[in-house]
Structure 1
Amino acid sequence: MPMSVEPLSGGNPLPPSADRAVLSAQDFWKLLLTQLQMQDPFTVGDTQAMLQQFVALQSAQSATEVAEGLKRVQALLMLGREIQALIDGQWQKGTVVSVAFNEDQPHLLVQLGAETKAVPLSTVSAITIPQSGGEGRWA
């Protein structure tokens, strides 16, 4: 006998500050417990499929976190390097003097003569290590 499921209220079950893209282990266990409490004992649901979905979600979340961490490390490794980047619509060369993380996106603070500009990491096209007494070799 099929049973229809209707929401009890139209309210938002998550607090407004919750990150909907992240499923914690605690959320998973609450969901699993709720599923087990609500299922018909005569037609047991497939918890194995739910476990596989949780593992896939956790793997994707972990991969995203690793990629974000690598971006941060990559930006930090540029400190003191000479770069070529698209700045104000032109390819310019300068030295990375600082790194800032705006909205989790790395921005390099590049010294261009007398001024310093914030440059997104994604606009860098070449990197070199400055050599004492002259220009560095461009990568």
Structure 2
Amino acid sequence: MDEPHRRQLIEHYLHAYNHFDIDAMLAVLAHNVRFENHSDGQLTMVTEGIDAFGELARQSAQMFREREQQLLQLTFKDDVALASIGWRGVLAQDIPDGPSAGTELALQGRSEFAFEGGRIVRIIDRS
């Protein structure tokens, strides 16, 4: 798969994420997609398969009134795309022992996307 097609898949995924369109996010993922989230060097979440990813995506979407991932930089190495991502979100609900609804959060991180069969097969988010 060439770089323009891989870039298009990533941009579609991010656009769908930003618009809370879970079905459109899932449309570019392989059925055996693996998702990992790492925060401060610790693995905090793993899903295996599109159903588990979809469930996590639906739960996560409910936590935010607004959210946006902005693609800051994208480089390709072999069959992997490495993205620098700017993220911001506004909480829709209070987090127990944490920030309250309406709080705006922002961070920068990196995402790694791997591809198989014309779809995204792995996403690793690091912040």
TM exceeds 0.5? no
Identify the TM-score tier after normalising by the shorter chain. 0.3 to 0.5
Bigger helix share: 1
Higher relative contact order (CA 8 A, sep 6+): 2
Bigger strand share: 2
> Which of the pair has more CA radius of gyration?
1
| TM-score under structure 1 length normalisation | 0.32
